[in-house]
Structure 1
Amino acid sequence: MNKFLIYTVKIIVITALVAVVLDGLYTAVFMQSRNRGKVETVFNSEAKKYDVVILGSSRANNHFVAQMFEDKGLKAFNYGMSGGHLFEASLMLKLMIERKYVIKNVILEADLNLSGEKKAEGIAALFLPYIHNSETIKKHFENEKDFYELYYIPFYRYIKYDGKIGFRETFFTAIHKKTSMLDNLGYYPLLKTKGANMKNDIVNLNPLPHNKYYEEIKSLCKANNINFIAVMTPMCENVKGMDYFDKVKKAYPEILNYENAVVEDKYFSSCGHMNDTGAKLFTARIINDFFVKK
């Protein structure tokens, strides 16, 4: 029995040590990454200056052509994250402020994600390699139900989110393999997809009357003298429940409704995402409305 207990203790100790070592190695790799994704690029950067920063989900990532702002003499970057929620958009802005970015304008895509406050598991995971190196990230995750496991158990976060920050991603990060996420100043253009679904049903979707992470972004902008521009972006013609956008406007009067700025299906790659042509039309409208002197 004593031998068994000793053997068991040895296994536990060895496993714990291996977990600590692997945690340290994986984290060290991510701590020097600057060319694969938007999260690590911001985390590992020094203070930058932007005239325009774009935040939101894929409906920001695919809808705002950052180069068009640059062509007008405005330094811009699209930090929209496909699959992301307002949880991640708020944290991204917090990280920029922690890194002492100077930002004149934030454009936030705020429409469908106002209906929830949950994190997007796969996108939120991209912040986790830095949870012990950033008080901002730690505090942002503190109220999550799995915070203690993620923060205190060595290597647990890398195992749980292996598909996002596991061995494969760590390896590619270590060899500095680039992705397309930082191309086009963060904007990801979509093509016209043949046979794409041009219908959507958002009848059961309702914006929260007080979305925590939207309010955080709004407050952060106010506290840091950043001009806050919140907009709803277009959807295709055949959508059930379009009164959702009216509900958003009622709950958040400051959010500007651009849902009808681009309407024809030929400008969409799917019902919720414009193609490159549609995105250019939409971006031109935004630039004209907010950045062209009348």
Structure 2
Amino acid sequence: MKKFLIFIAKILVVVILIVIALDGFYTYVFLHSKNRGKIEKVFNSKEEKYDVIILGSSRANNHFVAQMFEDKGLKTFNYGMSGGHLFEASLMLKLMIERKYEIKNVILEADLNLSNDQESEGVSAKFLPYIHNSTVIKQHFASQKDFKELYYLPFYRFIKYDGKIGFREVFHVLEGEKTNPLDNLGYYPLVKHKSGNMKNNIVNLNPLPHNKYYEEIKNICRTNHINLIVVMTPMCENVKGMNYFDKVKNAYPEIHNYENVVIEDKYFSSCGHMNDEGARMFTSRILKDFFDINK
């Protein structure tokens, strides 16, 4: 029996050493990744200077044409993340400040995501390889229910989110394989799809009276003397519950409502996402209204 227990103990020690080694190896790989995505781009950089940073969900990623800002002499990057919530937008801005970015203006898309203050697991997982190497990432996740497992159990985060930061992603990083999120200065243009869903129902959607992560973004900008421009972006014509945007305006009067600037279906790829033509119309309006720049 004693020999058996010793044997089991040795196996456990070997397993623990293996997971610690794998955790260290995976982390090392991600610490040297720069061309796979926006989070890696920020984490593995420092002291960047921008005139305009764009944050938000896919409704930022697909709606703000960064090159149009650049063409007007404004150094810009679109850090909108498809599927992301304000949880991730706030963390991205915190990470930029931690990396000593100098930012003059932040344009934040904040409309539908004001209705929740939850993380988007598929997006937030991409921050986790760096949780031991960034104070702001650690603190941002500290309030999540599985923080202790993610932080203290070696390799746990890579197993739990294998589809996002597991073996396949590590392999692609080692191969130096690029992805398209960094193309077009972060802007992802969409085309008009015949099969695109041109109907939406947001009748039951309500903005939170106090969205924690939206308030964080406002405080970060105030503390770091960054001009914050918060906008609601367009949706197609066939949306039920468009009074949601009025609810947002009532709850957060400082947010600029642009939901009706572009409305015709021909300018949309799907009901919640404009195509490239619509995005260019919208971006022109933003440039004109906030940067005193005409088309």
* TM-score under structure 1 length normalisation: 0.99
- What CA deviation, in whole Å up to 9, does each residue of 1:255-289 have, x standing for no partner? 00000010000000000000000000000000000
- What CA deviation, in whole Å up to 9, does each residue of 1:155-189 have, x standing for no partner? 00000000000001011111211111100000000
Contact (CA 8 Å) 2:218, 2:228: kept in 1 or not? yes
CA distance in structure 2 between the aligned counterparts of 1:3 and 1:252, rounded to whole angstroms: 68
State the match for 1:202 in structure 2. Answer: 202
CA distance in structure 2 between the aligned counterparts of 1:20 and 1:280, rounded to whole angstroms: 48
- What CA deviation, in whole Å up to 9, does each residue of 1:229-262 have, x standing for no partner? 0000000100111110000000000000000010
Gaps of 5+ in 1: none
Contact (CA 8 Å) 2:84, 2:120: kept in 1 or not? yes
CA distance in structure 2 between the aligned counterparts of 1:293 and 1:178, rounded to whole angstroms: 34
* TM-score under structure 2 length normalisation: 0.98
State the match for 1:127 in structure 2. Answer: 127
Contact (CA 8 Å) 2:287, 2:293: kept in 1 or not? no
**1:230 aligns to what SS in structure 2?**
strand
Contact (CA 8 Å) 2:190, 2:275: kept in 1 or not? yes
| Residues 74-93 of structure 1 mapped to structure 2, 5 A cutoff | 74-93=74-93
| Residues 90-169 of structure 1 mapped to structure 2, 5 A cutoff | 90-169=90-169
Q: Which amino acid aligns with 1:180?
A: N
| Residues 7-18 of structure 1 mapped to structure 2, 5 A cutoff | 7-18=7-18
State the match for 2:171 in structure 1. Answer: 171
CA distance in structure 2 between the aligned counterparts of 1:67 and 1:113, rounded to whole angstroms: 25
% same residue: 74
**2:281 aligns to what SS in structure 1?**
helix
**1:51 aligns to what SS in structure 2?**
strand
| Residues 256-267 of structure 1 mapped to structure 2, 5 A cutoff | 256-267=256-267
CA distance in structure 1 between the aligned counterparts of 2:157 and 2:284, rounded to whole angstroms: 41
State the match for 1:225 in structure 2. Answer: 225
Gaps of 5+ in 2: none
State the match for 1:43 in structure 2. Answer: 43
CA distance in structure 2 between the aligned counterparts of 1:61 and 1:100, rounded to whole angstroms: 23
Task: Tell me which stretches of 4 or more aligned residues in structure 1 moved more than 2 Å.
Answer: none
State the match for 1:64 in structure 2. Answer: 64
CA distance in structure 1 between the aligned counterparts of 2:190 and 2:2, rounded to whole angstroms: 64
Report the alpha carbon displacement of residue 196 of structure 1 after superposing the two structures with TM. 1.2
Contact (CA 8 Å) 2:235, 2:272: kept in 1 or not? yes
Q: Which amino acid aligns with 2:151?
A: Y
Report the alpha carbon displacement of residue 10 of structure 1 after superposing the two structures with TM. 1.6
CA distance in structure 2 between the aligned counterparts of 1:137 and 1:276, rounded to whole angstroms: 33
- What CA deviation, in whole Å up to 9, does each residue of 1:82-105 have, x standing for no partner? 000000000000000001100000
CA distance in structure 1 between the aligned counterparts of 2:8 and 2:192, rounded to whole angstroms: 59
State the match for 1:2 in structure 2. Answer: 2
Q: Which amino acid aligns with 2:9?
A: V
Q: Which amino acid aligns with 2:258?
A: Y
CA distance in structure 2 between the aligned counterparts of 1:171 and 1:231, rounded to whole angstroms: 38
Report the alpha carbon displacement of residue 106 of structure 1 after superposing the two structures with TM. 0.2
Report the alpha carbon displacement of residue 7 of structure 1 after superposing the two structures with TM. 2.0
**1:119 aligns to what SS in structure 2?**
coil
| Residues 182-201 of structure 1 mapped to structure 2, 5 A cutoff | 182-201=182-201
CA distance in structure 1 between the aligned counterparts of 2:277 and 2:239, rounded to whole angstroms: 20
Calculate the aligned-residue CA RMSD, in Å: 0.9
Report the alpha carbon displacement of residue 293 of structure 1 after superposing the two structures with TM. 5.9
Alignment size in residue pairs: 294
